[in-house]
Amino acid sequence: MGSRPPYGDATMAESGSMNVVSAILDLKGRDPFVPFNIVMTIGDRYRIESGENLVEMKTEFFYARPGGESFVFLRKAEIVAIERPEGRTRRATRRKAS
């Protein structure tokens, strides 16, 4: 038979990795887009400022920073967290008394 394990037999690490990947893809596709950080196992944080510049590949993500000044490959197995900016919620605008 094939070398692929039956469905549902993923290890904990594989399962966790897929949840992170799903979350990244969800954040990438949101409209309006809100920047977020991808945190790697060594502690590096990469700010994703444009969802259009983040491309999913088989084992990694490719991200080109806006303006084309630099790019980075982010291995899926080394992504440990996603951070969304705190305190950036919109407030209702107040109307001035007439």
Summarize pLDDT for 69-83 with one digit per residue, the tens.
899 999 999 999 999
- Which residue did the predictor score with more confidence, 18 or 1? 18
Distance of CA 69 to the CA centre of its chain: 20
Both tokens of residue 90? 């919109």
- Which residue did the predictor score with more confidence, 56 or 2? 56
* pLDDT for residue 41: 97
- For the stretch 23-48, pLDDT in tens is 999 999 999 999 999 999 999 999 99
- For the stretch 52-72, pLDDT in tens is 999 999 999 999 999 888 999
* pLDDT for residue 10: 35
Q: Dihedral sign for Cα 8, 13, 16, 18, please.
A: negative
- The residue type at 54: L
| Sheet containing strand 45-48, strands side by side | 45-48, 36-40, 79-83
CA distances from 98 to 91, 93, 95 (A): 21, 15, 9
Of residues 56, 59, 63, 62, the one with CA closest to residue 78? 59
Domain ranges of the chain: 12-83
* pLDDT for residue 97: 57
Stated pTM of the model: 0.69
* CATH ID of 12-83, from 3.30.460.10, 3.30.1360.20, 3.40.1440.60, 2.30.30.100: 2.30.30.100
